[in-house]
Structures are given as C-alpha cells and as structure tokens.
C-alpha cells in the first residue's frame, strides 16, 4: 500500500454508526493495486501487440476488476443509507395534522414571534427550552415566524444540538468516515482508469458495462440484495431485481461474477 493510500485510510474511523466503511475503503484500494499489478504484466507481455495489450487491459478491467470495485464499494452505500435513516430520527418531529387545537396554538406562537424585533426574536428563540415554541417555529416556513433562512437554520441546528447532541456528534463523525471512504473509492477508480489509458468518456462506458449481477435472496415477502460479509442486507431496488439472480451459494455467485472473489470476506 502506497503512502497516499495509507494517508487516506488514516482519516477513516471505524465507528459504531459507520461499520465496515474502513474495510470497504481498504478493499477498493486493494482492487486498484491488484489491477496495477495485472496491468504491469500485460504491458510487459512481449507476445501481445500494443492493440492486444490495450484490449486485454480493457477486457480485464470490465470483466473482473471494475465489478470487484463495485462490490467493494457496496458497504459504503449501505452505511450512507443507514446514516440517512438515523438522521431522520433526530429531526424535528412533524406535527399531528389531526390535532386542530395544537395547530392553532402553533399559529399563535408564530404570530407572537413574528411581531418581535429581529434582535428580540433571535434572543428569545436561541436557548429557549420550551419545546412547544421551538416546534411551532421549526415545523413551518421561516417567514411565518419572521425569520430569514440563515436565522432559521441557526435555530434549527441549535435545537437539534441541545436535544440530540451526542447522537449528532456521532453521526458527524460517521459521515466524515463515509466521505473519506468514498474518496478512497474515487481514487481507486482513477487509478484503474489511468492504467487502462482511456478518456473519461470511454471509462464511463466501461463502468456502465461492468456491474456485478446483483445477488438476490428472499426474506419472507421481501427480496434483498446479498452483500457478502454483511450481516444485514438492503432491500433490492426495482433495477436490482430486474438485473439480479437468486444464487444458491457464494461459489455460484463468484462463478458468474469473476471479480467477486477479489473482495471475498475471507480474503480481507
């Protein structure tokens, strides 16, 4: 592993809220390294013409290494979905539309806040611990309380920080790790592109034709996408169901997808 790869991985913390992202980033970079090793052998093969070498690099990237990179990156996507879901759990709760009395109270609160001067308004809201007042302001457009967008965001963030400070801190740390893991995936893509020696447009075409066949599995009435090494599987999307296959075993999956063995859990 080169110095740049090590520096990138050093930025990724293996947190409880972003499990597996460091391992996924390591696998992404390892796939790029393995392709570099393979590319060096192809380029040194005196039995191949220049055109033959270019074709071999292209074909192996599309058939094996780019699909492997897709598989390596999958847990990062799972972590993104998980963090997005957890973010929703610390948002300001939506009001009950059936509770007319509460709706009228929120309306009165916003009217009261709107009548204040700018300095009074912000001083009143920042640090206010009356949840009814804050929820009334934060569950309606900013203008209804006499706030501009920046003021609204400041009050929103301060309220969530007070209510869920520890969780938000953990989510931010997880998001930083996910961002660094995605950067590692991007680095791996760029390194493979450089080895193949094609334009960005040509490489985009290679990516579109290099996906692994999604491994599908039924869980009750649901269909999930199996990610080897993970204990929980995401619901398969409509596109994944259309393109996927119900494999009976990892061996069957890897036979159909040659690149999958490069990121097999038992080779971490």
**Three-class DSSP labels, the chain:** CCHHHHHHHHCCCCCHHHCCHHHHHHHHHHHHHHHHHHHHHHHHCCCCCHHHHHHHHHHHHHHHHHHHHHHHHHHHHHHHHHHHHHHHHCCCCCCCCCCHHHHHHHHHHHHHHHCCCHHHHHHHHCCCCCHHHHHHHHCCCHHHHCCCHHHHHHHHHHHHHHHHHHHHHHHHHHHHHHHHHHHHHHHHHHHHHHHHCCCHHHHHHHHHCCCCCCEEEEECCEEEECCCCCCCCCECCHHHHHHCECCCCHHHHHHHCHHHHHHCHHHC
**pLDDT tens column, 188-226:** 999 999 999 999 999 999 998 888 889 999 999 999 999
- The dihedrals phi and psi of 96, each to the nearest 5 degrees, come to -75, 110
Would 140 be classed as within a structural domain?
A: yes
Domain's final residue, options 124, 143, 164: 164
Q: Is the pTM of this model over 0.85?
A: no
Confidence (pLDDT) at 268: 38
Residue ranges for the chain with pLDDT beneath 50:
266-268
Confidence (pLDDT) at 192: 97
Would 133 be classed as within a structural domain?
A: yes
Structural domain count of the chain:
2
Would 218 be classed as within a structural domain?
A: yes
Confidence (pLDDT) at 199: 95
Domain's final residue, options 164, 179, 204: 164
Would 22 be classed as within a structural domain?
A: no
Would 10 be classed as within a structural domain?
A: no
CB distance 259 to 68 below 8 Å: yes
Proportion of the chain above pLDDT 70, given as a percent: 98
- Residues facing 98 on adjacent strands: none
Confidence (pLDDT) at 230: 76
Confidence (pLDDT) at 229: 73
Domain region containing 233: 212-268
CB distance 170 to 17 below 8 Å: yes
- The dihedrals phi and psi of 224, each to the nearest 5 degrees, come to -115, 165
Would 115 be classed as within a structural domain?
A: yes
104 and 160 assigned to the same domain: yes
Would 259 be classed as within a structural domain?
A: yes
Would 201 be classed as within a structural domain?
A: no
CB distance 220 to 212 below 8 Å: no
Confidence (pLDDT) at 21: 92
């Amino acid at each position: 592993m080169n110095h740049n790869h090590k520096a990138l991985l050093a930025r990724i913390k293996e947190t409880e809220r972003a499990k597996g992202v460091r391992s996924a980033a390591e696998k992404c970079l390892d796939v790029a390294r393995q392709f570099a090793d393979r590319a060096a052998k192809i380029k040194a093969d005196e039995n191949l013409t220049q055109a033959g070498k270019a074709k071999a690099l292209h074909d192996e990237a599309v058939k094996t290494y780019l699909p492997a990179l897709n598989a390596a990156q999958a847990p990062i996507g799972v972590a993104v979905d998980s963090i997005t879901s957890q973010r929703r759990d610390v948002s300001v709760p939506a009001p009950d539309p059936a509770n007319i009395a509460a709706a009228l109270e929120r309306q009165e609160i916003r009217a009261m806040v709107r009548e204040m001067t700018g300095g009074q308004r912000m001083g009143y809201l920042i640090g206010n611990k009356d949840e009814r007042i804050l929820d009334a302001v934060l569950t309606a457009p900013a203008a209804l309380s006499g706030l501009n967008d920046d003021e609204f965001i400041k009050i929103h963030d301060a309220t969530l920080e007070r209510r869920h400070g520890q969780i938000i801190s953990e989510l931010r740390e997880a998001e930083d790790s996910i961002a660094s893991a995605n950067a590692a995936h991007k680095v791996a893509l760029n390194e493979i592109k450089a080895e193949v020696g094609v334009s960005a447009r040509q490489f985009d075409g290679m990516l579109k034709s290099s996906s692994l066949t999604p491994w599908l599995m039924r869980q009750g009435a649901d269909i999930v996408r199996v990610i080897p090494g993970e204990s929980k599987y995401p619901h398969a999307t409509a596109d994944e169901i259309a393109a996927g296959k119900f494999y009976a075993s990892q061996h069957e999956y890897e036979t159909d997808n040659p690149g999958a063995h490069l990121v097999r859990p038992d080779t971490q």
